[in-house]
Amino acid sequence: MQFGVFTVGDVTVDPTNGREPTEAERIKAMVTIALKAEEVGLDVFATGEHHNPPFVPSSPTTMLGWIAARTERLLLSTATTLITTNDPVKIAEDYAMLQHLADGRVDLMMGRGNTGPVYPWFGQDIRNGIPLAIENYDLLRRLWREDVVDWKGKFRTPLQSFTSTPRPLDGVPPFVWHGSIRSPEIAEQAAYYGDGFFANHIFWPAEHTRRMVGLYRQRFEHYGHGSADQAIVGLGGQVFMRRNSQDAVREFRPYFDNAPVYGHGPSLEEFTAQTPLTVGSPQQVIDRTLGFRDYVGDYQRQLFLVDHAGLPLKTVLEQLDLLGEEVVPVLRKEFESLRPAHVPLAPTHASLLAAAGGGGDSTVHAVDDVTGRAPEAAR
């Protein structure tokens, strides 16, 4: 099982001292968190993508490329990549490039984005959210799998004899997860392609997650990718830890009470009861996290949100120490001992490469760079 962190990349005032980080500080904090994740033995770092204040990560592959150059094992991912407002052609190119630079340590999570005004900034309309996610992703898959694409759809200009470069590393496209909180259509999309499904699982009741994952598993089996319990599931989770649980509650409360998403609403106690948020000791986080399996089954990836709501970097790094030293080693062992042999691990570049029977150079060589003749003609 994979463990990691995902970050929204919000610039938020620290409610305990009124200090607001600059964009520069926040961006550097995000990559520091990523390096720390590898140092403490986590597997995955995933960044959000946003195009409006108070968020900084508008250019995920720039950030992930920087991290790739400074890490050895860490898997670089997104949470989420906006499949609605990004041109699928640019996603295909950017992430294939990142895949090469990171030696395959890349996957992506597709999401729609729920902020209406963002869509028209990129020439789109939020009312087309689901159709955009469906059409754009279908094109993205083809761009990674077919050297030359002729394509026509509703939302972007047609493509004729188009080759997205670079081709995916070893001819193996990055693994893709689809994230959604409560749109059954997205669970259906993930199931149709046999891709992974990721449930946000932080700001919402466990019941939402149980229903969405249940639907995805059932449809995964329906489409013939394996049995329902072999579907590839990832979950979010939000934790704040101190060795003494009372200290954790006391320290986190002002951040909770003023947090951008749920602040000034339910109490910390109500919210921890209603959602998977866990504020307490490392042991409490271990127990709660193991309990996720009771309602989603054996799953492949667990990402924690540890750096939002204005928490200072120093505190976040302490959270990563606790995760790496005390929580994840136990979770790794426990989850692995519970996992039946027929339930797969999350796909990686290596496992996808092996499944494809090995890879090779997938470069598409142009025949004539003056006339731009289709590479296909060279075969």
Partner 1 sequence: MSVRTLAVVSAGLSQPSSTRLLADQLAAATRDELVRHGEQVELRPVELREHAHDIVNHLLTGFPSEPLRQVLDEVTGADGLIAVSPIFNASYNGLFKSFFDLVDADALGGRAVLLGATGGTARHSLALEHALRPMFTYLRAVVAPTAVFAAPEDWSGGAVDGALRARIDRAGRELADLVRRSAPSSGPADPFALTTSFDQLLHGRDA
* Residues lying near partner 1 in the complex (CB under 8 A): 130-131, 134-135, 138, 182, 184-185, 187-189, 191-192, 203-205, 208, 211-212, 215, 219, 261-262, 264-266, 270-271, 274
Cβ closest to partner 1, residue 183 vs residue 351:
183
Q: How far is the CB of 8 from partner 1 (least distance, A)?
A: 16
Q: Shortest gap between Cβ of 265 and partner 1 (angstroms)? A: 4
CB of 33 to partner 1, least distance (A): 26
Rounded Cα gap, residues 202 and 193, in angstroms = 26
State which residue, 201 or 349, has the beta carbon closest to partner 1: 201
Percent of the chain that is helix, strand, coil (3-state, to 5): 45, 15, 40
Question: Which of residues 224 and 357 has its CB atom nearest to partner 1 in the complex?
Answer: 224
Which is nearer to partner 1, 184 or 358 (by Cβ)?
184
Report in angstroms how near the CB of residue 104 gets to partner 1 at its nearest. 29
Q: What DSSP string describes 204-222?
A: S-HHHHHHHHHHHHHHHHH
Rounded CA-CA distance 164/180 in Å is 27
CA distances from 289 to 75, 214, 299 (A): 21, 18, 11
The CB-of-273 to partner 1 minimum distance in angstroms stands at: 9
Least distance from partner 1 to the Cβ atom of residue 184, Å: 4
Q: How far does CA 218 lie from the centroid of its chain?
A: 22
- If you search the block for the tokens 């979950």, which residue do you land on? 235
Identify each DSSP E strand in the chain by its residue range. 2-7, 44-47, 75-78, 81-82, 107-111, 149-151, 159-162, 175-179, 196-199, 233-235, 239-241, 278-280, 301-304
Question: Token match 């505190």: residue?
Answer: 315
Q: Which two tokens stand for residue 78?
A: 């997104």
Nearer to partner 1, 205 or 291 (CB): 205
Q: Which is nearer to partner 1, 120 or 184 (CB)?
A: 184
Nearest distance in Å: CB 245, partner 1 = 23
Q: Which is nearer to partner 1, 17 or 218 (CB)?
A: 218
Q: What angle do CA 174, 131, 123 make, to 5 degrees?
A: 90
